[in-house]
Amino acid sequence: MGSKHTTRAQDYSKWYNELVQRADLAEHSDVRGCMIIKPYGFAIWERMKEVLDQKFKETGHSNAYFPLFIPKSYLSKEASHVEGFAKECAVVTHYRLKNAEDGSGVVVDPKAKLEEELIVRPTSETIIWNSYRNWIQSYRDLPILINQWANVVRWEMRTRLFLRTAEFLWQEGHTAHATAQEAQEETSKMLEVYADFAEHYMAMPVIKGRKTASERFAGAEDTLCIEALMQDGKALQAGTSHFLGQNFAKAFDVKYADKEGKLEHVWATSWGVSTRLMGALIMSHSDDEGLVLPPLLAPIQVVGIPIYRSPEDLQSISEKFETLAEAFKARGISFKYDDDDNRRPGWKFSEYETKGVPIRLAMGPRDLENGKIEIARRDTKSKEIVQFEGVDAIVEKLLEEIQNSLLLKAKSFRAENTAEANDYESFKKLINKGGFVSAHWDGTSETENKIKEETQATIRCIPLNQTPEEGSCIYTGSQSSGRVLFAKAY
């Protein structure tokens, strides 16, 4: 099994690229850096969206939609935003095509040049805060708690499906508050929402932390993040939540009158997760045979496969599976019965293994006679023959068990791959082995950069809620009051 495919041990990166395509999740399009998310991949993303959207609404947010295009001049309005944000953006300069005079197709009409170029949004703080100016007059208009599901474009030169693409899908929350404290609480609250989603739906444990000044979002006063560890020992930033202070309110002149009528600048947050989460999900659990999906995000939780020679056998087995389908429906379990006569059972076994369907049920004529059914777990590859009667209850329990077991496994993996380093030599060894390395740092960007240059490791975050600990920086020996988490990262 899996012999024809690259294994994780052979080449992790190649294993990933092959898997995304084998499992029919996504593919590269002919448009440089833009991916096509195929139906099976999109079904997983839809499930993620659905859960997150509900959590956003439960925490008081509404969805809205802002323009795809941002006037070029807006990007320059917030000084650190323009300074720090990548300049690789898609630029719209014209608004019309015309037929080529030689009949060879269409050409850009030079007469249709825009007065000001438009940028395809790489993120929407500027266009949204430009609108908030008109929406906010008094404290009664606050807070504004808005989220947007959208496509964004950042012209990446080296792209990888889901992990880094020129166009990607995401959600971006943009909130406006009367006080700094309220905005900071919002920043923390949304980080908790992300962490909870990662752990309880993606079965992916995350470290909640704060970015260092040099890793902060351009325009933020504080960036919180969740960091996950992939199976190859590299870290992946899975979501960020920014406290933007009054930076965008000042840049776009957004003020509110408080109860005394005094004008104050508004406080802001923004927070987002993207289709990058798909990459994180794939790399957290999958194995050399294919995808492994946590049941709570699997488009198909259970697949049923009949094994038969005669049409009579197929009919009897199908009747059994029909009963089961009803039972699963009643329990809210998504079930697919695959009786496609064009494919053999072996092909189907391999197909659903590749696609990470958590539980596979198979029934042949002998099982039918004995009132039995075979139940197989995708994650552990264990199989057993059980009584047909009551298998729906067993499946429901097993789905929960798989969900929990994937999280536990990922937690153990992370524990095994997190270490403390107390001097630079052992730090370098640990970093080369992979995983998180917890170490003291003197708090300067200079040291951070030097360590990065020498080891390719970055400070993933300053973990929240960790016990203060006096120590000395592994690089400079200067004083430090707590450890930070280093890793090589995606």
153 makes contact with its own copies (CB under 8 A): yes
Q: What is the DSSP track for 260-278?
A: TS-EEEPEEEEEEEETHHH
12 makes contact with its own copies (CB under 8 A): no
106: phi then psi, degrees, rounded to nearest 5: -110, 150
Cβ nearer to its own copies, comparing 175 with 438 = 175
Q: Using CB under 8 A, which of 10, 11, 14, 36 touches its own copies?
A: 36
Q: What CA–CA distance (Å, rounded) separates 227 from 253?
A: 34
| Stretch of 24-32, 350-358, 414-422, 460-468 lying at the interface with its own copies (CB under 8 A) | 24-32
Least distance between its own copies and beta carbon 244 (Å): 20
> Per-residue string for binding with its own copies, 325-354, x by CB under 8 A?
-----------------x------------
Residue type at 212? T
Least distance between its own copies and beta carbon 110 (Å): 11
Q: What CA–CA distance (Å, rounded) separates 10 from 410?
A: 21
Q: Using CB under 8 A, which of 1, 13, 14, 108 touches its own copies?
A: 108
- Report whether the peptide linkage leading into residue 345 is cis, meaning its omega lies within 30 degrees of zero: no
Q: Residues 127, 152: contact at Cβ < 8 Å?
A: no
Neighbours of 339 (CB within 10 A): 15
Q: Using CB under 8 A, which of 1, 14, 88, 371 touches its own copies?
A: 88
Q: Using CB under 8 A, which of 19, 23, 44, 70 touches its own copies?
A: 70
Q: Using CB under 8 A, which of 75, 224, 278, 398 touches its own copies?
A: 75
Cβ nearer to its own copies, comparing 24 with 374 = 24
Q: What CA–CA distance (Å, rounded) separates 215 from 490?
A: 14
76 makes contact with its own copies (CB under 8 A): yes
| Stretch of 36-44, 283-291, 410-418, 446-454 lying at the interface with its own copies (CB under 8 A) | 36-44
Three-state secondary-structure class, residue 44: helix
HSE toward the beta carbon, residue 479, CA cutoff 13 A: 3
Going from the C-alpha of 276 to that of each of 39, 78, 166, the distances in angstroms are 17, 27, 12
Q: By CB under 8 A, name the binding residues for its own copies.
A: 27, 29-31, 34-39, 42-43, 46, 62-73, 75-76, 82, 87-99, 104-109, 117-120, 127, 130-131, 134, 140, 146, 150-151, 153, 155, 167, 169, 342
